[in-house]
Structure formats: structure tokens, C-alpha cells
Amino acid sequence: MAGIKESFSGISDSGSRISISNKKKKIFLFLIASFLLVASVIGIVAGVASRKNSSKIPSSAHAILKSSCSSTLYPDLCYSAIATVPGAADNLSTQKDVIEISLNITTTAVEHNYFTIKKLLAHEKLTEREKTALHDCLEMVDETLDELHETAEDLKQYPNKKSLDEHAEDLKILLSAAMTNQDTCIDGFSHEQADKEVRNALLKGQEHVYHMCSNALAMIKNMTDTDMAEEKLKMGRKLGESTGEIDGFPGWLSAGDRRLLQASTVTPDVTVASDGSGNYKTVSEAVAAAPINSNKRYIIRIKAGVYKENVDVSKKKKNIMFVGDGRKNTIITGSRNVVDGSTTFHSATVGQ
């Protein structure tokens, strides 16, 4: 056995130096290759790990998070607070989601502050004033937790629990109070030089919560302002539909016609006056005389008066516009008021 081994090694040693050096080269190259491979694997792992912290967030969630946070005073904190909690951004689809998760993270931060205060209270070398102030801080923590809880509950039912105004008002009051609590806690340690140590131990955590609440408040303001503006617009449109008026003109009037009527001088093509001072005595006569299939607006001015007639405007009489002397002054009464084929004549009263 040993002989065989020796002979083998003898062969390799004596007979093929070149091949050995080749083998060494190959091994060396293999090692380099492995190193590169390992390096690249490490690189990939490192890349994944670093992305996990910053942007391993679905792109849709990233966009919502980014735009929601842009309305805050501390946008970087707003973004990173959520981005660094694994899975927190997974299901983000609305600004409201961002606010809810922010509130959750803020609650966790307040709880963290609670333990910080408890730890400080366990210290023996505290002045009476410091002890009192720390107990005040615990109370502030308690209140803040209540306020954040109430905010989250109110938000959960937003916008269905009450009016948008009330939601907005209540949410803003709750978060403002939560912010004030952080200040109140810190203010308890501003009396003596000795207080400074405790104050410094608390400051970072309290400020963090303050900034988080400020961000939630800004996002809530943005959301409720946006929703209220939209609601106002919708109500305005509905109001416009129900009273049929825009700028005091019937809603069915086109913008061009509204401008035409708003212009101080509307030059009528013909005038109807029951007293005979116009081109025609009745509206029907004026309509009958109007051009057929006109491409141009044909304006019939109807002077103040009461016209007891049914006005029929056939489909062929396109583009006729009636201009009265005000809805109280120009009144057309008739058993039939619906005028076929006209877009401008909606009812028997003629507005101006």
C-alpha cells in the first residue's frame, strides 16, 4: 500500500512538474473564482439586506407613502418610521392607511417612553421634584395613549361616523393634545441644573413622539381638507342641479350662452313686446319668423309683460335663444310649457 502511494507521489513529483504547476494555477484560479463568487454572493446578500431597510416596499405603497409624507413637517421621519418596520408598508393603499400605521408606530414609541420613565424612577438619587415630574410624565404617557387610541378609533370610522368637519376637528384636537403632553413632560425638568440629566434621558423619546404626532396631524389635515373640498364641490354641483342655477343663470345654459347673457349688451335679432313696441306682439310669431336650421344663435328678446301663449319651437328652429327682462318681469303662461327642440327654453319663465 505504502509502496503504491510512494510510487504515485513519485510519479507526480518527478514526472510532471509542469502539470503540478498547472494544477496549482488551476487551483489558484479556482480560488479566485470562488472568492469572486463569494464576494458577489455577499454583495447580493448585502444589497438585499440594505434594501430591506429602505425600499423593499411595493412600488405602489412607496408612492403613497412618499406623497402622504410630503405634507408633513418631518417627511424623512414619516417615511422611515414605516419603511423600517418589516411588513408595515405591505398593504398600504391609501393616505388613511399611512396615517393608521403611523399612529400604531407612535403608540409603540409612547409605550417605549413609558419604560424609559419607569427605569428613571427606579434610580435612587432623584430629587423630590424629579420624582414628581417623572410621575407627571407617566400621567402624560397615559393620556397620550388614550388620545392616540381615540384618534385611531375615530379614524377607523372616518368619514362615516359624523360630518367631515367634526371628524377633522376632533382628530386635530386629539393629536394636538398628544403633542402638548410631550412638551408638558419635558417642561417638568427645566428648573435646576440637576434636572438636566433626567431631562436629557427623556428628551429624545419625547421629541420623537412629538414629531410623529405632528406628522399624523399634518396628514390628517391634508386628508380632511382634501375630502372637505371635494364634498363642497359635489354639494355645489348638486345645488346647481336642484336649483338649476349657475351664477344666477339656469344650469342647463351653456357656458358660451351664459357669457353672452352676462355681457351687458346682448343684441337681439328681434324683439317681442306685448305693447307693440317690438318686432312682434307674441313669442309664437317671433319663433315662427325665426330661421330654420340656423347655425347662428337667433336671439329673441321678450320685453317685460305677460304672454298668454303656448310657445312651440319645432326641432327645425335650432339655435333660438330667448332673453327676457327678468324672470319676474317676462312671464310666459301657457298650458304647455315644454318646448320641443330647443335647448334654451326650459320653462315658462324667462330669465335674464
Ligand X SMILES: *[C@@H]1O[C@H](CO)[C@@H](O)[C@H](O)[C@H]1NC(C)=O
State the residues that interact with ligand X by CB under 6 A: 67, 70-71, 87, 90-91, 100-101, 104, 222, 225-226
Residue placing its CB nearer to ligand X in the complex, 70 or 190: 70
Q: How far is the CB of 295 from ligand X (least distance, A)?
A: 43
Q: Cα-flanking dihedrals φ and ψ of residue 26, to 5°?
A: -60, -45
Q: Residues with Cβ < 8 Å from 125, sequence gap 6 or more?
A: none
Burial of 246 (0-12, 13-18, 19+ CB in 10 A): middle
Q: How far is the CB of 52 from ligand X (least distance, A)?
A: 15
Q: Give the C-alpha distances (Å, rounded to integers) separating 46 from 85, 199, 217, 311.
A: 18, 38, 36, 83
The secondary structure of 180-223 as a DSSP string is HHHHHHHHTT-S-TTHHHHHHHHHHHHHHHHHHHHHHHHHHHHH
Residue placing its CB nearer to ligand X in the complex, 16 or 70: 70
Residue placing its CB nearer to ligand X in the complex, 151 or 274: 151
Residue placing its CB nearer to ligand X in the complex, 100 or 269: 100
Residue placing its CB nearer to ligand X in the complex, 54 or 67: 67
Task: Say how far apart CA 233 and CA 65 lie, in whole Å.
Answer: 26
Residue placing its CB nearer to ligand X in the complex, 186 or 223: 223
Q: Are 173 and 217 in contact (CB under 8 A)?
A: no
User: For 314, which DSSP code?
Assistant: -
Task: Say how far apart CA 39 and CA 232 lie, in whole Å.
Answer: 60
The residue type at 80: S
Residue placing its CB nearer to ligand X in the complex, 183 or 225: 225
Name which of 276, 215, 279, 263 is nearest 77 in CA terms: 215
| Alpha-carbon torsion (118, 119, 123, 127), positive or negative | negative
Q: Across the strands, what pairs with 349?
A: 331
Q: Residues with Cβ < 8 Å from 300, sequence gap 6 or more?
A: 268, 269, 270, 271, 272, 283, 286, 287, 290, 320, 321, 322, 323
Task: Say how far apart CA 231 and CA 236 lie, in whole Å.
Answer: 8
Q: How far is the CB of 199 from ligand X (least distance, A)?
A: 30
Q: How far is the CB of 81 from ligand X (least distance, A)?
A: 12
Residue placing its CB nearer to ligand X in the complex, 34 or 91: 91
Q: How far is the CB of 230 from ligand X (least distance, A)?
A: 10
Residue placing its CB nearer to ligand X in the complex, 223 or 253: 223
Q: How far is the CB of 185 from ligand X (least distance, A)?
A: 23
Q: How far is the CB of 259 from ligand X (least distance, A)?
A: 30
Q: How far is the CB of 204 from ligand X (least distance, A)?
A: 23
Q: Are 293 and 320 in contact (CB under 8 A)?
A: no
Q: How far is the CB of 106 from ligand X (least distance, A)?
A: 10
